[in-house]
Structure 1
């Protein structure tokens, strides 16, 4: 039951973010600058900055994880090889 609730919450959050970003980037350039709707959105330059920052952050985290796993794997292989040589 909890996994369905978490899944539904994640689906609603992802849909909300997608809808907000789509309106911001695709619809708002055609709305006049003095319209009150512009108060709900940050400046358009952030429509590019935010995804770039998220991509850089995500790739840094993934790259760090992969490198830590590779380093640990190589250490284990080296210890096994050392143990086999000493026997």
Structure 2
């Protein structure tokens, strides 16, 4: 089991590092590259660099609020 946990941790770290590298290159370096360069075909338009994190943050906060609400409802039912 410990080996599986380490493998999953390594995989999650690798995915996180890949996403961070892709996003950093997309937001910081790509605006300084000529727009006719072939590298632009691998990236979405710049508007999505803001929209994707905003939607992900709203979804995360919504799920967190729903989870806290369910926990509060369950704890209220146990008291009565």
TM-score (norm 1): 0.88
Give the distance between the partners of 1:23 and 1:71, measured in 2 at CA. Answer: 44
Deviation at 1:34, TM superposition (A): 0.8
Structure 2 Cα separation of the partners of residues 45 and 13 of structure 1? 23
- Find the counterpart in structure 2 of residue 63 from structure 1: 65
Q: CA deviation at 1:38?
A: 0.4
Shift of 1:18: 0.2
Tell me which stretches of 4 or more aligned residues in structure 1 moved more than 3 Å: none
Q: Secondary structure at the match of 1:22?
A: helix
1:70 Cα deviation from its structure 2 partner: 0.1
- Cα distance in 2 for residues equivalent to 1:15 and 1:69: 33
C-alpha deviation, 1:20, in angstroms: 0.2
Unaligned runs of 5+ in 1: 79-87
State the TM-score, normalizing by the size of structure 2. Answer: 0.95
What displacement does 1:66 show?
Answer: 0.3
RMSD between superposed Cα atoms in Å: 0.5
Q: Given the alignment, which residue of 16, 19, 22 partners 2:18?
A: 16
Deviation at 1:75, TM superposition (A): 1.3
Unpaired runs of 5+ residues, structure 2, are none
